[in-house]
Amino acid sequence: MNENIIHEILKEYEMKRDKALQEALYRKNKLYKKIPELEKIEEEIKNVGIEITQSIFKEPEKGRELLNLLKERLNKLKKKKAYLLESNGYPEDYLEPKYECNICKDTGYVNGKRCKCFDQKLINIYYKQSSIAEILKKENFSNFNFEYYSDKPYGDKPSPRSNMKNIVEFSLNFIKNFDTTAESLFFYGDSGLGKTFLANCIAKELLDRGKSVIYRTAPDLIEGLRINKLNADGSSYNEYLELLKECDLLIIDDLGTESITAFSLQEFFNILNTRLLLGKKFIISTNLPLSEIMAIYPERIYSRIFGHFKLLNFYGEDIRLKRKMII
């Protein structure tokens, strides 16, 4: 991940923290004028902490006793402060800074690790750069049309329209139960049958629900890992890999179109295996039949796909041609 992007995000966090602190200070000064006793209580709370800390250093053998005293005095003062605020029509946390993210307090980090909000900012930048946001305005469930699929039986299979309705129903349940089930989705079938379109529909629904979603074609996924790995210190590779592993949903489109090398197989396996162990979900799509997946990829890869993914077969006539004819 570009260091300039990281720097800009950290600068944005700093500005948000400053704004939250300034607004809290403004509220505090305004309220002190209205309720002078509140300022006295806040000052006393501060002094109690300093006093007890100094006492502990002077008499460490009495540390536990002094800490208990600290808690008792602080609790009384906090209750008095809360009562003053409430009786004057203000919530208990009125004087506290209002951060956008209460988890990291707008620092971007929690216990030395990137907060989820930080990762989401990186993902948002990626989407902006790749124009995926514009694609999702068109490719969503509001624009999904079953009329493009034939309602006639397809050989010895149900009609493509009936099959597609079942797949969409399964996809909607995947969205609905996203937080409670572990199964991922594997779309396979010929090109032009709506696999990418449906993946984008699901992506939009989950993004709208606050989930982090990354979409990559298989070639772009591998190429991104390769380029970032060539970085001198490896930091960009680790940043990129972390996003791929930690996002709520990773969509890998056109599996099988990437160059099959020892590097690509190892990287794909690492991402696949790590995310499955973490309980993270995928949508993987391919134009290849399952027999070719088994021929191209080693057993450790296809066994994980067949064992942890719901296999959904797309079939019928190329709907992209039908859409062009209708338009």
Rounded mean pLDDT, 168-179: 95
Flag whether pLDDT at 319 surpasses 70.
yes
Q: Which of 194, 234, 186, 137 is closest to 317 using CA atoms? A: 194
Residue indicated by tokens 């067949």 = 306
The conformation of residue 264, written as its DSSP 8-state character, comes to: H
pLDDT grade for 300, boundaries at 50, 70 and 90:
very high
Flag whether pLDDT at 177 surpasses 80.
yes
30-44, 131-145, 297-311: which has the highest mean pLDDT?
A: 297-311
Distance linking the first and last C-alpha atoms of the chain? 41
Between residues 71 and 2, the one the model is more confident about: 71
DSSP string spanning 185-198? EEEEESTTSSHHHH
Flag whether pLDDT at 83 surpasses 80.
yes
Helix (H) or strand (E) holding 309: strand 309-314
Rounded mean pLDDT, 59-63: 62
**What pLDDT, on the 0 to 100 scale, is given for residue 323?**
62
What b/e string do you get for 110-136 counting C-beta neighbours within 10 Å, with b at 16 or more?
eeeebbbbbbbbbbeebbeeeebeebb
Q: Round to whole Å and give the CA distance between 49 and 27.
A: 23
Q: Which of 276, 283, 292 is closest to 311 using CA atoms? A: 283
Flag whether pLDDT at 310 surpasses 60.
yes
The conformation of residue 142, written as its DSSP 8-state character, comes to: G
Rounded mean pLDDT, 166-182: 94
Outline where DSSP puts E strands in 98-145: 109-110, 113-114
Q: Which of 178, 176, 177, 200 is closest to 187 using CA atoms? A: 200
**What pLDDT, on the 0 to 100 scale, is given for residue 163?**
96
* pTM, rounded to two decimals: 0.67
pLDDT grade for 322, boundaries at 50, 70 and 90:
low
Flag whether pLDDT at 267 surpasses 90.
yes
pLDDT grade for 327, boundaries at 50, 70 and 90:
very low
**What pLDDT, on the 0 to 100 scale, is given for residue 14?**
92
Question: Max Cα separation, the chain?
Answer: 88
